[in-house]
Amino acid sequence: MSNSFKDGLKVDRSQLDIMQFKPKEKTLDVMKLRTNQPKKEIHKIAKSKTKRRVSSKRLKKLGLIILATGAAFGGISHWQNSQAVTLEEAKEAGKTLEQLKITPEQEQKLEQIEQIIDRESVTDYELIVSLQDIEELNMDMQKTKIAKATGKDKESVSLFTGIDTTEEGKTKEVITVDGIKYENYNMSKEISESIKDLGNIQSENYKVENGDVKREELKGKAKRYLDKTSKMAASELEEKNGKIEMKPTTKGEVKKLKEEQQKQQEDFER
């Protein structure tokens, strides 16, 4: 199957035979678990100095340990703050659909898919259909964001990802808007990764259609790709100086926005 994205890709769900997704036997991996006074006075003084030296060294070492621990916690905190949030979290912090360049209908569709996937009684067939819906919604959202950022029609936007033939181990992403091409060098890493994610969703759906997915994997895949779609939806996208950039809404940004909201509320109540 080509990695290019076909606009309006639809699967005839009536042709999906749920019986083809039969659970396969697993191979269990087993892990195996393999003495005069003057001298005494001099000695006391020497011992005391030694203690001071040891104490000083220990304090210095302790200080280094504290600094190293602080740096580690600082690194963890920075990593946590840089993590992308979902659309729901971004909206709670005050981000609007207009700001994020998506539509109320797309938000509603995202919520509907989430409700289906989270149901305890969800069937395999519903998960299969949900994966297809996630692919279509993800593509629609990305095209909507790009169209609004460039001032063009959504129908003029196309997306592509494929193996880079010039550099081993890398992929090539292309966005075409009304005949204008944006490639990896003039798009941010985040939008490039988002297009690759869409390619991965499409590949997973191809596997599902061919019965090459275990039953127990369906829900995990649906949840994972819905989460990626929600975080993409919560990202801001703009076209500037001939480059398309995507900026995810992060936990650190949400924290800052909520602190500002709290401060404004406190000032209002005074």
For residue 87 the two structure tokens come to 């659309």
pLDDT at position 263: 74
pLDDT at position 115: 96
pLDDT at position 53: 52
H/E stretch holding 240: strand 236-240
H/E stretch holding 104: helix 104-118
Q: What is the mean pLDDT of residues 207-225?
A: 88
Residues 12-55 have pLDDT tens digits of 444 333 333 333 333 223 233 223 334 333 333 344 444 445 56
Lowest-pLDDT range, 18-27, 61-70, 116-125, 185-194? Answer: 18-27
pLDDT at position 136: 97
Mean pLDDT of the chain: 79
Query: Which residues have CB under 8 Å from 229's CB, separation 6+?
Result: 110, 134, 137, 138, 141
**Closest C-alpha to 159, from 199, 205, 189:** 199
Q: What is the mean pLDDT of residues 200-216?
A: 88
Residue 120 predicted with pLDDT over 80:
yes
Estimate the crossing angle of helix 189-209 against helix 124-150, to 10 degrees: 150
Query: Which residues have CB under 8 Å from 236's CB, separation 6+?
Result: 99, 100, 101, 246, 247, 249
Q: What is the mean pLDDT of residues 222-240?
A: 96
pLDDT at position 270: 67
Between residues 202 and 16, the one the model is more confident about: 202
- CB atoms near residue 67 (< 10 Å): 10
Please give, one letter per residue, the 3-state secondary structure of 160-205: EEEECCCCCCCEEEEEEECCEEEEHHHECHHHHHHHHHHHHHHHHH
Residue 160: band (very low, low, confident or very high) from pLDDT cuts 50, 70, 90: very high
Query: Which residues have CB under 8 Å from 136's CB, separation 6+?
Result: 9
Lowest-pLDDT range, 13-27, 196-210, 225-239? Answer: 13-27
Residue 267: band (very low, low, confident or very high) from pLDDT cuts 50, 70, 90: low
Residue 103: band (very low, low, confident or very high) from pLDDT cuts 50, 70, 90: very high
Whole-angstrom distance, CA of residue 201 vs CA of residue 207:
10
For the chain, what percent of residues have pLDDT higher than 70?
70
**Closest C-alpha to 4, from 141, 150, 172, 145:** 172
